[in-house]
Amino acid sequence: MSTAWKEYQPGDFYDEMISTPGNARQPAKKLFSYINSLSDEEIASRKAAAELAIKEMGISFTVYTEEGNIDRAWPFDILPRVITKKQWDKTAAGLKQRLQALNLFIDDLYNDQKIIKDGIIPEYVLKQSSNYRKECEGMSPAFGVWAHVCGTDLVRDKDGEFYVLEDNLRVPSGVSYMLENRSIMKRVLPEVFEKVQIAPVGDYSERLFEMLASLSPRKIKKPVVAVLTPGIYNSAYFEHAFLAQKMGAELVEGSDLVVEDDDCVYMKTIAGLERVDVIYRRIDDLFLDPEVFREDSTLGVSGLMRAWRAGNIALANAPGAGVADDKVVYAYVPQVIKYYLDQDPLIPNVETYLCYDDKQRDYVLANLDQLVVKPANESGGYGMLIGPHSTKKERDTFTDLIKANPRNYIAQPTLSLSTAPTFIGKDNTPEPRHLDLRPFVLQGKGSYVTTGGLTRVAMRKGSLVVNSSQGGGSKDTWIVDTEPKRSRATRKKAVKGAANGESA
């Protein structure tokens, strides 16, 4: 065994792969054994192969800077994150539960608002939500679903359990990188896939298309599905093009679509106008339709909201779904689940302090050096204060911001985010790095959860910021079945018993 692995020390954090120095957790034992059989030269060769694959496959993301937009190769580590199937099955059930409740909540907000009338959530929270869209009131999309695609960010604390950090219900991104991470790993470590039962992820694009097609207002055999992108300069354009290609859907910009007098949406083609049934939109609400939202928007389609309200086009995710993206609403999700489903949450929230509450705000202001403070509607890790790593000047600034607009801020304890071994530098020494996980949940008539998700890694030592736009990297996520396979005879017996009404 390499000396580096014996010296690997995750510290006080839960480590995803290593239980004690030199020893792997059960689901990672075969992977760990294989990695240890490789020489430093072989590891360097595998890393180089991964970098070459990323270049050949054109996997990139865009970073916005003052000097202009910069396309960067996708940062990737060849050591995957490993989770047991048993734990993932429980987590997936919790994610389905959460999205079901959130969709019931959104549908209620834009219609009867029973949850507010019953005093579960203060009306003040709704009125101050920057993502509540009055233009959506009275609407109820197909199956009562507003958020069809959700990217829920999960973290593990030092107890080894998953917690929901936040929900992303507007235009969640990253699933293409999850899929491409798997493709890279099959090139780099093909031998391990023969030794370990790793759950596949490749059916996501098919599941996404099936869900989108089921939303079609026209009940035809082949609905026309389009992916609406802001264009090539958007940071997630790679993903827009990737998903459109994988689904066999049309990739369009706003200028490619038109709403005619019949309130239907048409796509401009060389053969003339072709009606579109479903739009998977990757544009924020305010840019969707200059007739209704921002008049200066050139990204959307004039009349799109009119067509949607008339029931002639399905939009995923629906406009207004972002009202449940609000980090203040996040604090109420356990109550939301209990209210609509009469169930306790299967995955807990992180403890959250609401700054609009006088008592909680006083606590936050007195403990800024220990807490993480977040604005209610920002994403990508922007606008945050990470108390333990902050300066007095930064804390003073946030004190003023919170006092000026308490509704806009929440605070959470600084979590002991789990770590995983990551190859850092040219000497290929494994070092612990903090990470999170973004699985993707689809909901239409039914629900679907990816097996695993996008693992994002804070590549800088001690950093808790995993976002790629701020220097983060990524790993493949393996859901591994550690249960021994039952013999064929045992399986036949179980099937026969089940057919006779016995417990399998």
- pTM, two decimal places: 0.90
Per-residue three-class SS string for 32-100: HHHHHHCCHHHHHHHHHHHHHHHHHHCCEEEEEECCEEEEEECCCEEEEEEEEHHHHHHHHHHHHHHHH
Compute the C-alpha angle 160/166/168, nearest 5°.
130
Q: Which of 153, 181, 131 is nearest to 317 (CA)?
A: 131
| Pair 353, 413: CB distance under 8 Å | no
pLDDT value of position 409: 94
pLDDT per residue as tens digits for the range 152-170:
999 998 888 999 999 999 8
pLDDT per residue as tens digits for the range 356-372:
999 999 999 999 999 99
Q: Which residue has the tokens 């389905």?
A: 96
Strand order in the sheet with 272-275: 257-259, 265-269, 272-275
Q: What is the CATH number of domain 352-414?
A: 3.30.1490.270
Q: pLDDT by residue for the chain (504 residues), tens digit each?
A: 566 677 788 878 999 999 888 889 999 999 999 998 988 889 989 999 998 888 888 776 655 445 555 566 678 899 999 999 999 999 999 999 999 999 999 999 999 999 999 999 999 888 888 899 999 999 999 999 999 999 999 999 888 899 999 999 988 999 999 999 999 999 999 999 998 999 999 999 999 999 999 999 999 999 999 999 999 888 889 999 999 999 999 999 999 999 999 999 999 999 999 999 999 999 999 999 999 999 999 999 999 999 999 999 999 999 999 999 889 999 999 999 999 999 999 999 999 999 999 999 999 999 999 999 999 877 656 788 988 889 999 999 999 999 999 999 999 998 888 999 999 877 778 999 999 999 999 999 999 999 999 999 998 888 877 876 666 789 999 999 987 665 444 545 544 554 444 433
- Give the C-alpha separation, 433 to 431, whole Å: 6
| Pair 136, 320: CB distance under 8 Å | yes
Q: Which of 154, 10, 28 is nearest to 79 (CA)?
A: 28
Q: What is the largest distance, in Å, between two alpha-carbon atoms of the chain?
A: 72
- Give the C-alpha separation, 148 to 171, whole Å: 10
- Give the C-alpha separation, 21 to 123, whole Å: 52
- Give the C-alpha separation, 452 to 480, whole Å: 10
pLDDT value of position 62: 59
The pair of three-digit structure tokens given for residue 311, joined into one six-digit string: 């029931």
H helices of 327-377, in order, are: 327-330, 333-341, 358-366
For residue 118, is it left (φ>0), alpha (ψ between -120 and 50) or beta?
A: alpha
For residue 159, with 0-12 CB atoms within 10 Å meaning exposed, 13-18 middle and 19 or more buried, which class applies? exposed
Q: Which residue has the tokens 């999850």?
A: 178
Q: Per-domain residue ranges for the chain?
A: 3-350+426-480, 352-414
